[in-house]
């Protein structure tokens, strides 16, 4: 499965990469919304973990663009701030889920299984 990690914190991208790569997944990393959209134009991820708060282009804006490119991509919004209004907005715009950091490895595994099954 192809997984795209979008987070302006390189350490977060590395944690996801180190978790999913040994399980046989192809993991792509982007440290900005613009970089993520460039990757999406070339490769189709099944699952995107998308940070909400990033400089220049925030996660909600990136989510909108992802859904325009391919509505079938499973997008999980990730943030350090639990914001109910933002969560509802993200879900309304097509995000599969909205979770706060730090994420549990059990959650990451379940998300990959759901995306692999095409549930969004």
Residues 65-117: pLDDT tens digits? 999 999 999 999 998 877 788 888 999 999 988 888 888 888 888 887 877 76
Burial label for 57, CB within 10 Å (0-12, 13-18, 19+), is: middle
Q: Which two tokens stand for residue 44?
A: 């189709």
Number of H helices and E strands in the chain, helices first, is 5, 5
Burial label for 46, CB within 10 Å (0-12, 13-18, 19+), is: buried
Q: Peptide bond before 51: cis, by omega within 30 degrees of 0?
A: no
């Amino acid at each position: 499965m192809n997984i795209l990690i979008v987070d302006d914190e390189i350490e977060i991208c590395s944690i996801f990469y180190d978790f999913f790569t040994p399980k046989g997944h192809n993991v792509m990393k982007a440290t900005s919304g613009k970089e993520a959209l460039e990757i999406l134009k070339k490769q189709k991820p099944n699952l995107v973990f998308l940070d909400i708060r990033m400089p220049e282009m925030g996660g909600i804006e990136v989510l909108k663009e992802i859904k325009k490119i391919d509505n079938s991509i499973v997008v999980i919004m990730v943030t350090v701030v639990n914001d109910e209004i933002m969560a509802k907005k993200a879900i309304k715009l097509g995000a599969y889920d909205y979770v706060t950091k730090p994420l549990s490895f059990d959650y990451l595994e379940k998300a990959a299984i759901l995306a692999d099954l095409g549930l969004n």
